[in-house]
Amino acid sequence: MTPGIRPLVAGNWKMNGTEASLGEIHGIRNGFMSGLDAEVDALLCLPATLITRAASIFSGSPVAVGGQDCHAKASGAHTGDIAAEMLHDAGARYVIVGHSERRTDHGEKDSDVHGKAEAAWRGGLTAIICVGETDAERRANATPDVLTRQIGGSLPRAAVASTTVIAYEPVWAIGTGLTPTAEDVKRAHAHLRAELVRLIGEEGNKVRILYGGSVKPSNAVELLGVENVDGALVGGASLKASDFLGIAEAYRKL
């Protein structure tokens, strides 16, 4: 946690979810309507096919909807891609950019992520910029260098805290059930905070830095209580309303 920063618990459904999953979205809505919103902001980043339906379910609730990627351009001949403006039109207010799965599956580089973050702002969205080291980089003690390089290349210098979120997601912790120690998370987030301030000045002290990678209800209190951890980006556990709410409930104990 960071004094003065309201935490954000965000889900990332990745390539999961159909009509049959709408019950979980209703469950998430009901959970946040019953008082949890006093503690934390909530967001669900969905496949594009569910954004309009989820935005209608979440309407009048404190839960926002986000996309998982956007193109750098606003429109054009880019088959299969989606523009930030289109996500906004569908009801999204956030978009994840530079997730490690996009960096791996689609060869996205820091310079691509930089362009997508600017596109997100142009389209009226908050950009969630993801960074994080691989297992090999961790073993080589290269985590601080990797984070410096990724944030330096991915973060446009015009970033402001109201429309920028950083997510620290160690690649080796995603979907594996493995998590860094609280001490390792503290060190990585302190490093990212210092880099933010170096890159964008005092504004960097107000930017939310989320932790992502195997967050569950059982480890949420420990991970979310760490200094400079301003929320979570949750994959697998966000698919079930009870687990996602269980993670947000950590803020009732912190």
Ligand X SMILES: O=C(CO)COP(=O)(O)O
Q: Which residues make up the interface to ligand X (CB under 6 A)?
A: 12, 99, 169, 174-175, 212-215, 233-237
Hey, what are 199's tokens?
A: 């890159």
Residue 12 annotated in ligand binding: yes
CB nearer to ligand X: give 75 or 242.
242
Residue 4 annotated in ligand binding: no
Positive or negative, the Cα torsion across 148, 150, 155, 160?
A: negative
CB nearer to ligand X: give 205 or 219.
219
Residue 13 annotated in ligand binding: yes
CA distance 245 to 30: 10
Among 40, 45, 91, smallest CA distance to 234 is for 45
Residue 235 annotated in ligand binding: yes
CB nearer to ligand X: give 126 or 214.
214
Q: Catalytic annotation on 99? A: yes
CA distance 223 to 179: 9
- H helix or E strand, kind and range, residue 126: strand 126-131
CB of 241 to ligand X, least distance (A): 15
CB nearer to ligand X: give 82 or 200.
82
CB of 79 to ligand X, least distance (A): 25
Residue 172 annotated in ligand binding: no
Catalytic residue among 71, 88, 99, 189: 99
Catalytic residue among 169, 189, 191, 195: 169
Tell me the CA distances in angstroms from 252 to 106, 128, 186, 247, one per residue in order.
39, 24, 21, 10
- H helix or E strand, kind and range, residue 210: strand 208-212
Residue 121 annotated in ligand binding: no
Q: Catalytic annotation on 26? A: no
Hey, what are 89's tokens?
A: 């039109």
CB of 54 to ligand X, least distance (A): 17
CB nearer to ligand X: give 102 or 191.
102
Give the residue ranges of DSSP H helices in 59-142.
Answer: 84-90, 100-105, 110-122, 135-139
CB of 86 to ligand X, least distance (A): 21
CB of 203 to ligand X, least distance (A): 24
CA distance 4 to 1: 9
Return the SS3 of 94: strand
CB closest to ligand X, residue no: 235
- Residue ranges for the known binding site are 12-14, 175, 214, 235-236
- Binding residue positions for substrate: 12-14, 175, 214, 235-236
Q: Any idea which residues carry the catalytic annotation?
A: 99, 169
